[in-house]
Amino acid sequence: MMKTLRELAEHVSGKVIGDEDLQISGVAGIEEANGGEITFLSNPRYGKKVGETKASALIASQKVDGFNGSVLLTQNPYLAYAKIVGLFHKRVLPSPGIDANAVIGKGAKIGKNCSISPFVFIGEDAEIGERVVIYPFVFIGSGVKIGDDTRIYANCSIREGCTVGNRVIIHAGAVIGSDGFGFAKDGKAYYKIPQVGTVQIDEDVEIGANCTIDRAALGTTWIKRGVKIDNLVHIAHNVVVGEDTVLVAQVGISGSTRIGNNVTLAGQVGIIGHLTIGDNAMVGAKSGVAADVGAGKVVSGIPAYDHRDWLKTSMCLPNISDMRRQLRRLMQEVEALKAKAESESKRTGRP
């Protein structure tokens, strides 16, 4: 498939500097692109590589020194790149239809133009919207509701009573609605707290492979509109995650914590239970949050504190043992000075 640079620019409401009729055969990374392809520059790390790319055209927010091809100007090159990739690559989805090898429970409703693969289990009274795609080995519990245009990859489990909104993508192996982790001490042993709540996933959420989102003890574990969750993330019972929040891989959020809107939790962050993380807050990778985080704050560390302080501390950490040695020498020197001053005092009789 070929597109002219003009067509691409129109698709993203951008502007061409150079040859509008240039035929573009595809999109590729700045290092991988060949002649005839378009690439993009959004991460400044790659700026110096522009001179070496073989791409014939470049998506950028301004003219770039060292690049001789045509440029597709746009305010948000990364967004434009995303849209142009979508032009060249249409994902092929399974054809609509309910495979004879799927098991559909009594009372379950399936909307128009769904693709229900072989080896799918849909429980009683579940409701599946329109154009939903469900891959093999997906378990949908009884009473689950799935919105329109949602896609559920292979080997996912969505347990009884949970709801999933429109245009949600759930990657392979994710588990939604597993029991929350709650036990009451009964002597030395533990007594299981029944986990009788559910999980509610709102529209436009994406959930990574092998994530686990536990059902509430009572009430609802709630993932709001537009939340993007990377792989192997754990979300405990009764957590609320606000709109457009991003949870990077291997994050863990303990029970009843509330995460605001537009928050970013970087990779491997852990947050203890019953906390509130304000809107637009950011938590640095591998941090452990042990106290509420105010709106707009940036924190890092275990336990987490102000990110700028953390950066300063980080620069000192390799030298702590030097500091201790210096401190010890200083203590000796000060002792010597004190002794000298004292003997001088004794000699002179002046304090």
- Residue from 35, 188, 346, 349 touching a copy of itself (CB under 8 A): that is 188
Binding mask 221-260 for a copy of itself (x = CB under 8 A): -----x-x-xxx-x-x-x-----x-x-xxx-x-x------
Q: Are strands 198-201 and 163-164 parallel, antiparallel or unpaired?
A: parallel
Burial of 63 (0-12, 13-18, 19+ CB in 10 A): exposed
12, β-bridge pairs = none
Q: By CB under 8 A, tell whether 316 contacts a copy of itself.
A: yes
Least distance between a copy of itself and beta carbon 103 (Å): 5
- Residue from 160, 295, 297, 298 touching a copy of itself (CB under 8 A): that is 160
Closer Cβ to a copy of itself, 21 or 191, answer by number: 191
What's the token pair of residue 159? 């347990």
Considering only CA atoms, which of 312, 255, 308, 315 is closest in space to residue 282? 308
Q: Which active-site residues does the annotation give?
A: 237
Which of these segments, 14-22, 47-55, 66-74, 149-157, binds a copy of itself (CB under 8 A)?
A: 149-157
Number of residues counted as binding a copy of itself (CB under 8 A)? 121
Closer Cβ to a copy of itself, 36 or 267, answer by number: 267
Closer Cβ to a copy of itself, 113 or 268, answer by number: 268
Q: By CB under 8 A, tell whether 298 contacts a copy of itself.
A: no
Q: By CB under 8 A, tell whether 115 contacts a copy of itself.
A: no
Residue 58 to residue 26: CA distance in whole angstroms: 12
Q: By CB under 8 A, tell whether 186 contacts a copy of itself.
A: yes
Which amino acid, 176?
Answer: I
Looking at residues 275 to 294 of the shown chain, list those that interact with a copy of itself (rule: CB under 8 A).
285-286, 288, 290
- Residue from 50, 55, 81, 129 touching a copy of itself (CB under 8 A): that is 81
Residue 80 to residue 232: CA distance in whole angstroms: 29
- Give CA angle at 253 (248, 256), nearest 5°: 140
Residue 265 to residue 271: CA distance in whole angstroms: 9
The CA–CA distances, whole Å, from 137 to 6, 68, 82, 153 equal 44, 51, 30, 9
Which of these segments, 57-65, 67-75, 125-133, 267-275, binds a copy of itself (CB under 8 A)?
A: 267-275
Q: By CB under 8 A, tell whether 297 contacts a copy of itself.
A: no
> Cβ(122)–Cβ(142) under 8 Å?
no
Handedness of CA 27, 29, 30, 36 (dihedral sign): negative
Looking at residues 46 to 75 of the shown chain, list those that interact with a copy of itself (rule: CB under 8 A).
none
Q: By CB under 8 A, tell whether 218 contacts a copy of itself.
A: yes
Start-to-end C-alpha separation, the chain: 93
Considering only CA atoms, which of 296, 161, 282 is closest in space to residue 218? 161
Q: By CB under 8 A, tell whether 184 contacts a copy of itself.
A: yes
Which amino acid, 343?
Answer: S
- Residue from 5, 146, 168, 209 touching a copy of itself (CB under 8 A): that is 209
Q: By CB under 8 A, tell whether 148 contacts a copy of itself.
A: no
